Structure 1
Amino acid sequence: MKVITERNLVSIMNDTKWRELQDAVINNLLFPPPYQIKYLLENQLHPEEFEADVSYWGDWKEGIVPFYSVEWIRVRPRYLKYRGRLVSPEVVDITDDFVKLLMELSIPYRLRSDTYYIYGYLKDTSILTL
Structure 2
Amino acid sequence: METNQNKARVMKAVAERNLVSIMNDTKWRELQDAVINTLLFPPPYQGKYLLDDRLYPEEFETDVSYWGDWIEGIAPFYTVEWIRVRPRYLKYRGRLVSPEVIDITDDFAKLLKELSIPYRQENETYTIYGYISDTSKLTL
Normalized against structure 2, the TM-score is what? 0.92
Map 1:11-30 onto structure 2 (within 5 A). 11-30=21-40
Q: Percent identity?
A: 82
Map 1:106-117 onto structure 2 (within 5 A). 106-117=116-127
- Whole-Å separation in 2 of the counterparts to 1:124 and 1:51: 23
In the TM superposition, residue 2 of structure 1 has moved relative to its aligned partner by 0.8
- Whole-Å separation in 2 of the counterparts to 1:113 and 1:99: 13
Normalized against structure 1, the TM-score is what? 0.99
CA RMSD of aligned residues (A): 0.4
Structure showing greater Rg: 2
2:96 is matched by which residue type in structure 1? L
What secondary structure is seen at the aligned counterpart in 2 of 1:86? coil
What is the aligned residue count? Answer: 130
- Whole-Å separation in 1 of the counterparts to 2:25 and 2:116: 14
Runs of 4 or more above 4 Å deviation: none
1:117 is matched by which residue type in structure 2? T
Q: When you count helix as a share of all residues, which structure comes out higher?
A: 2
- Whole-Å separation in 1 of the counterparts to 2:45 and 2:111: 16
Q: 1:103 aligns with which of 95, 113, 132?
A: 113
- Whole-Å separation in 2 of the counterparts to 1:114 and 1:33: 12
